[in-house]
A and B are shown apart, each in its own frame.
Chain A
Amino acid sequence: MTLDQKFQKKQYDDIWQEHCGFLDFSIFEYMAIQKRLLIEQIELYSNCELGRRIMKGKKPSTVDEYRQVVPLTRYEDYADLLLPKIESALPSRAILWIETTWEGGKNPIKVAPYTESMLKCHKSSFITCMILATSNKKGQFTLRGRENFLYGMAPLPYLTGIVPYVISDEFSINFLPSTKEAEKMSFGQRNKTGLKMGLQKGIDLFFGLSSVIVKISESFSSGGNSGGINVFKNSPKMNYRLLKAWAKRKQEQCEIKPRDIWTLKGLICAGTDTSMLKKKIEYYWGVKPLEIFGGTEPTCIATETWSKNGLVFFPDVCFYEFIPKSEIEKNIDDPSYIPNTYLMDELVAGNEYELVISNLKGGAFARYRMGDIFKCLSLSNEEDGIQLPQFAYVDRDPRIIDIAGFTRISEGTITEALELSKLNITDWFAVKEFDEYKRAFLHLYVEVGADGLQGAITKDIIKEHLSIYFRYVDTDYNDLKSLLGIDPLMVSIIPAGTIGQYCSANGRNLRKMNPSPFDVIEILKAARSGSGKEVF
């Protein structure tokens, strides 16, 4: 029976049970699912070229053995088989190949195969997210089918493009704009058209990158996006709402916020800076957004629940392991060090971990380091009666700087850009910082060589060189400015030799990407006082 049929029969309890019932699991039940499905995956994995390579020709019979045999992997370990899409090497037949940019990789993009059961699972996970987005209380939700869904996400071959296709055979949703029309539009066009259609038909659901949602909201409130209203095309209800909002604006002399026009059933958001932007989104749209987490390699793997205050990982999408922060740092300092991993039932509340996933259901990735850092908020949520660990997304691995979920910049990218620029930059480090509007940007601190003509090499030249390069390697970088109005790069020049002096004084090397706040403060202090020159 499809979800539509269940909606028609008003089987809401059954729907909740099917899609959100896993939230009633104990950690023991949760782990039983994880472990049993991993054994299935090992079975599939051991019968293919990719699996034999990653598992070194062995076939582990237990989860512990699997964790001993399989090393922690990165995309490089798969690239030669996945980039040419060699299907015969995979554990299961790929129905779809999903793409994303490969930050600091040898190739501009990386691809991941999706099997039929992975797609089924992804569909189910996303429906769960939709149900939870429209829920404020356990077992109660307002999703009923036929909702108008403003879907502000990238189309295929990106992960977010799967959803419109997979959920359509389960229940009816009116995508704004329709999937067919959206395919032909650019990202910005789609959002604009969707919003315009929303003004005519109303919006019940909204899914977007947190940074984009905020930008759309701000622009709407300032009147930038509300143009082109045609009262004849609008539904009477929408006209009434517009009229009401306009009257309010006149009366209270305040801006029109999206919530004055639309009463959303649910709002789903994702992206690295979500935690910073959730309050803003709620302010503009009048509903608590539901944060979800996913990626090209693992699919959609975590969602917040009805109280929207902590992510829970789906038990049947991937097998999860976690590297504690202390282990990550050891590994950064000494790349040959193999960090220890812990399972979901071995975590400590309050600690931060890097996520390691193994695809289930015939996926390609095994013990794959995602490079995403999560904080384990608590081991259960007593208030909601959930006995599973609750997480908050912290950021990318410190070695990667992610800006608004659009672009990811690695040490390799910056090094290459600086080399290509032919500028005499002797040392540098980069830090992810936030502006007064809580928008992320990359702050690059550079030292210019002693023989370099400091006067000629200005910050602007460096910035321009880097911007050109970033645009070249990452098309999304361009969108940051055009779509979100963010200037993602800031360059500061510090006196030559400051970093070197600091390192020799402390007897250790400075991390290039996101060094600890303490190190940054100390270097800047030294830069200001040591040479008498200012950081500019």
Chain B
Amino acid sequence: MPLLQLFFWAVPIGALLSYCLLMVFFSISQKDKYIRTFMLVLAALIVWTASTLFMRLQLYPGVLFWNKVMVAGMFAVPFFLYYFVSIFTNTLNNFSTILWGSMTAAAIAVDFMGFVVTKASIITHPAVENGRRFTSVEFSYSLGVMAYPIYILMFLLILTILLKAGMSFRRGGITHGRIALITFGVLIMFVGVLFNIIPAIGKYPVDILASLINAVLIIIAIYKSRMLELRFILTKGIVYSTFALILTGLYIYAVFSVEKHLGNTSKNLMPYFTTFSALLVAVAFQPLYRFTRIVTDKMFYKAEYSHRQALRSFSANISNNLNLDDISREFIEAIQMAIHAKHILILINNREKQHYYVYRTSSQIFKPELQISYDNPLVKWLESNNAGLSREKLYSLPFFKSMWEKEKKIFYDLDIEVIIPMKSRNDLIGILMLTRKVNNTAYTLDDLDLLAYLGSSTAVAFDNARLYTNAQSEALTDSLTQLYNHRYFRKALSEQMAKIGASEISLLMIDLDLFKLFNDLYGHIEGDKALELVASIMLRIVGQKGIVCRYGGEEFAILLPYFDSKRAFDIAEKIRLEIQRTFFNSTDVTQRFLTASIGVCTYPYAAPNAEELLKRADLAMYTAKNQGKNQTVIYTPRVFSSVKLYDTSEEGLKPSYAATIYALTAAIDAKDHYTFGHSQRVAGYATILAGALDLDKSHLVIIREAALLHDVGKIGIPESILTKIGRLTEEEMEIIKKHVEMSITIIKHLPSLNHVIPAVIGHHERWDGKGYPRGLKGENIPLLARCLSTIDAFDALTSNRPYRAGLDIETALKEIQNNIGTQFDPRITNLFIELVRNGTIDVEQSIKISKAI
């Protein structure tokens, strides 16, 4: 059959089949307004094509009738196309639509009245080509008077469609790619229909072919606009079946062609050749079928295909991976593979600073300074929602009304399109942000689902990585101070020694002075707080310059790579002075006191290797201790160069302190003669009581000195109040209470008497917590202070006062006893009462001595 004859039949049949198939697919798919409108175009195309075919088949009632139907279909197509383009470009105008609709209806009516085509017939005649006989079919028609005006009308309509599309493109309503496809399709149809005016060409179905091309282009435009996923129309089964059918057809055709060819040459060999050729074709077609499936997947399930690939690759790469960097990199790669966003940002949680910060982005050169604080409504929304958040929602949901303008602007400037929570066990581990897609298309629901899935998977992986990192760091970190521990110090020392080569490294060994006493006086909780504070001081001063470790107990080690002894000494001094300033010079009298002794040694000048460095720094630190504490000593091979601030060794200071204590006691006795001898008596009783409590010698010394100095602050109280006859007013009481703080202020200036502070400061505290100045309760009050409290009260009761005579011993003891559990420590007070009653403490004798003096 010649090509033209094949064209005559194949085009309408092919077009009709395609239209019908599409119509079926559209009918069973989810429809929106675009699909519904396009179905109208499709229906008109089916009428047009089917009637062409029926006309060629010369079906009943005749060629002219089917020709009229064909022309009606041909007229209807531009109108429905106009309607579709109006909807597609969002430019529907009711008036124009009704106008064109009426004119189309009129044209169809004129057509059926016989004014467009007057005659139509199919002419068949036998023909021979290349020696083969066949029946040639030709279509012949004559146009009526109304044909040309109506054709002009149709062309005007088609031009209007083109103009509409063009204007929409200029307005920016539809992106260029999609509108270009529609414009091009309509243009092809326009040319195809134009050929109908020339009967020599019009006798062939050129118009049908043009319409088919137009329909295909429109489908591509719809698909590209993402208003429709092709898979909603074409189910997997249908696509595979169609391809399988085509391939099977080709396969059968190939087998039969071979068979036919062989049949003519060698009939004997036919069964063998048939089997062989079937096998050959089958083998050849198998890879073709597989290839077709892959192409189908890529073409029709493009998004799903890349999603699947991304998921597969991501799952494989992050399984068992506990490195945060690796996971985040894989995560970004997976998203890029599936979504093709311009930029991807991963923000993770900084629990200390209470914000989310940009941890990684998809680009080396794009890392915006974006921090989202916990109080940002975005964080709150993501915490309570598992779904992603689109840009539209971010700007429209009332939940985000509290978002600041500058916060909104950041998202706007970064062009953030989608925000996805990364949650593990309901904890918002991170936030994923994506900007626009590279091709500027919108994010689909499938994209969001995939991102949500990837987000939550990554969050779990992030969480595990974080826990692992924490565990790793905990193994090398001291849990109290958060400094590196001894284990890490040893590792870091050898690593740093290896790393610095011929350069210098200094080591500071730091020991807190009298820390055991500090713990005993204030308790271990206060001791721990002090260690934390010291650690924070060291971290602040050393910063990134060195490695700070807790060597053990109250001992710290600081490695300072590339630091010579002079610079290391400077750092050591800064630390020492800062500790002293923080604990010692504080204006808050309730603040504890603490100092540090520091040893410095530098490799290679003062130590040949790591072991010696450690040993010699330690030696320097002990030298500092022995030289009176609170100082820094540098180890040198020949002599120790030390900076001595002041000698605070107890031996050296004892005589002068004893004199100071007595001088101060005398001063207060002189000022308040009613309490004359009070401090001495309290010191005497306290020493006996401390002995009975089995305290060691150092505590006996401390309590004695504390007792002597406990009221030293009264020096600063006006005499008129101290010696007032009659009851004190509330204001005066407040002034009297100040003597405790004043005592501490005075004692603080005597560095080696600092150890008496806990006892002095607490001697007016009460067992029930109602005392002053700190309101400590029960055993939180230092032990020695509790002893002084009981004894101080007892002596006050037995002494004469301006407003009353002293009580007798038994009455005073009873008074004391009545206040056990409220004012006084039961154990200590009961022991004291026993000591008085059994005469171990001779009160009368003490009073007599005082009076005699």
Contacts and interface: CB of A to CB of B under 8 A. Distances in A.
Interface of A: 1, 8, 14, 17-18, 21-22, 24-25, 32-33, 36-37, 40, 117, 315-316, 361-362
Nearest to A1: B392
Interface stretch (B10-18, B397-405, B531-539, B598-606): B397-405
The 10 A-B pairs of least Cβ separation, nearest first, read A21-B398, A33-B402, A36-B402, A18-B396, A316-B401, A40-B404, A22-B398, A117-B405, A33-B401, A37-B402
Contacts of A21: 397-399
A266 B405 CA distance: 32
A37 B402 CA distance: 6
Interface in B394-424: 396-399, 401-402, 404-406
Contacts of B405: 40, 117, 361-362
Nearest to A317: B401
A37 B406 CA distance: 11
A109 to B, nearest CB: 29
A65 to B, nearest CB: 17
Contacts of B392: 1
B375 interface: yes
Given A14-B396, A21-B398, 16 more contacts: A8-B90, A17-B396, A17-B397, A18-B396, A18-B397, A21-B397, A32-B402, A33-B401, A33-B402, A36-B375, A36-B402, A36-B404, A37-B404, A40-B404, A316-B401, A361-B405
B405 to A, nearest CB: 5
B377 to A, nearest CB: 8
Given A8-B90, A36-B375, A17 B398 contact: yes
Interface of B: 90, 375, 377, 392, 396-399, 401-402, 404-406
A316 B401 CA distance: 6
Contacts of A32: 402
Contacts of B399: 21
Contact of B398 (A8, A18, A362): A18
A24 B402 CA distance: 15
A120 to B, nearest CB: 9
B33 to A, nearest CB: 10
Nearest to A8: B90
Contacts of B404: 36-37, 40
A25 B398 contact: yes
A361 B406 CA distance: 10
Q: Which of B90, B397, B402 has the most CB of A within 10 A?
A: B402
Given A1-B392, A8-B90, A36-B375, A316 B397 contact: no
Q: Which of B90, B397, B398, B405 has the most CB of A within 10 A?
A: B398
24 contacts: A8-B90, A17-B396, A17-B397, A17-B398, A18-B396, A18-B398, A21-B397, A22-B398, A22-B401, A24-B398, A25-B398, A32-B402, A33-B401, A36-B375, A36-B377, A36-B402, A36-B404, A37-B404, A40-B404, A40-B405, A40-B406, A315-B401, A361-B405, A362-B405
Nearest to B406: A40
B396 A316 contact: no
A24 B404 CA distance: 21
Given A14-B396, A17-B397, A316 B90 contact: no
Majority secondary structure, B binding face: helix
Nearest to B90: A8
Contacts of B90: 8
A117 B403 CA distance: 12
Contact of B402 (A14, A18, A117, A316): A316
B36 to A, nearest CB: 15
Contacts of B397: 17-18, 21
Contacts of B375: 36
Contacts of A117: 405
Contacts of A8: 90
Nearest to B380: A32
A36 B402 CA distance: 6
Nearest to B399: A21
B700 to A, nearest CB: 52
Contacts of A14: 396
Contacts of A18: 396-398
Q: Which of B90, B392, B399, B401 has the most CB of A within 10 A?
A: B401
A130 to B, nearest CB: 16
B48 to A, nearest CB: 31
Nearest to B404: A40
B665 to A, nearest CB: 49
Contacts of A316: 401-402
Nearest to A14: B396
Nearest to A116: B405
A132 to B, nearest CB: 14
B250 to A, nearest CB: 45
A25 B375 CA distance: 18
A33 B375 CA distance: 11
A85 to B, nearest CB: 22
A32 B376 CA distance: 11
A272 B392 CA distance: 38
A381 to B, nearest CB: 17
B389 to A, nearest CB: 14
B530 to A, nearest CB: 30
A521 to B, nearest CB: 48
A404 to B, nearest CB: 34
A361 B402 CA distance: 11
Nearest to A44: B405
Q: Which of B90, B392, B396, B406 has the most CB of A within 10 A?
A: B396
A78 B281 CA distance: 92
Nearest to B375: A36
Contacts of B396: 14, 17-18
B659 to A, nearest CB: 53
Contacts of A1: 392
A8 B404 CA distance: 30
A36 B404 CA distance: 8
A421 to B, nearest CB: 51
A59 B401 CA distance: 24
B426 to A, nearest CB: 21
Nearest to A40: B404
Contacts of A361: 405
B89 to A, nearest CB: 13
A21 B402 CA distance: 14
A17 B392 CA distance: 13
Contacts of B377: 36
A462 to B, nearest CB: 52
Q: Which of B375, B377, B399 has the most CB of A within 10 A?
A: B399
B417 to A, nearest CB: 13
A362 B404 CA distance: 11
Contacts of B401: 22, 33, 37, 315-316
A25 B402 CA distance: 12
B34 to A, nearest CB: 12
A361 B377 CA distance: 17
A4 to B, nearest CB: 10
Nearest to B405: A117
A32 B401 CA distance: 10
A316 B395 CA distance: 14
Nearest to A115: B405
A427 to B, nearest CB: 52
B745 to A, nearest CB: 33
A32 B381 CA distance: 14
Contacts of A17: 396-398
A37 B401 CA distance: 9
A36 B375 CA distance: 9
A315 B398 CA distance: 10
B10 to A, nearest CB: 42
A22 B396 CA distance: 11
A119 B399 CA distance: 20
Nearest to A120: B405
B818 to A, nearest CB: 46
Q: Which of B375, B404, B406 has the most CB of A within 10 A?
A: B404
B228 to A, nearest CB: 16
A121 to B, nearest CB: 9
A246 B765 CA distance: 96
